Structure 1
Amino acid sequence: MPFARISELPGPVREHLPKHAQEIYKEAFNSAWEQYDRPEERRGHASREETAHRVAWAAVKDQYQKGDDGDWHSKQARH
């Protein structure tokens, strides 16, 4: 189910991602939820929700990386 606000995101997402990354996650999830509504558009036997979460994490990983502390940090901040 799409997320209306970042406060609705799963706990691990809210607890470990900075606000900007949470916004990326929410927007990517919601977009993928709409895009992959038919099973034939997904890989293997993945559910619509599973596919949307995978897309959302991929979008986050484009700009953020997980640190040794378990939290996610901007890749740009490291340059």
Structure 2
Amino acid sequence: MPYETIEDLPDSVKDNLPKHAREIYLAAFNNAWDQYSDPEDRRGDASREETAHKVAWAAVKNEYVKEKESGKWKKK
């Protein structure tokens, strides 16, 4: 279930990430959704959706870090 816009993302993403990070998440999720459509390409028993979310979070963490004090995501 690829997302069409950042407004379609789960609340856990929309409510926590700045706009640019949400854009990264959206692009990474949709790309991973396509890339990992075959179960043989995924690790273990992970579903297609679970794998896409993991890839998307990893992409965000390449450019953003969550501050311990405030809990807000900031660009590295």
User: Normalising to structure 2: TM-score of the pair?
Assistant: 0.96
Runs of 4+ in 1 over 6 A off after TM superposition: none
Residue identity (%): 61
Structure 1 residue 67: Cα displacement? 1.1
Q: Any residues of structure 2 matched to 1:35-74 within 5 Å, and which? A: 35-68=35-68, 69-74=70-75
Compute the TM-score of the two structures, normalised by the length of structure 1: 0.92
Report the Cα distance in structure 2 between the residues aligned to 1:45 and 1:70, rounded to whole angstroms.
31
Question: Which amino acid is 2:27 matched to?
Answer: E
1:24 is displaced (CA, Å) by: 0.1
CA RMSD of aligned residues (A): 0.6
CA positional deviation for 1:12 = 1.4
SS at match of 1:70: coil
Aligned residues: 75
Measure how far apart 1:27 and its partner are.
0.2
Whichever structure has more helix as a proportion of its residues is: 1
1: CA distance, partners of 2:43 / 2:73? 27
Describe the superposition over 1:24-60 as per-residue Cα deviations: whole angstroms up to 9, x where unpaired: 0000000000000010000000000000000000000
Gaps of 5+ in 1: none
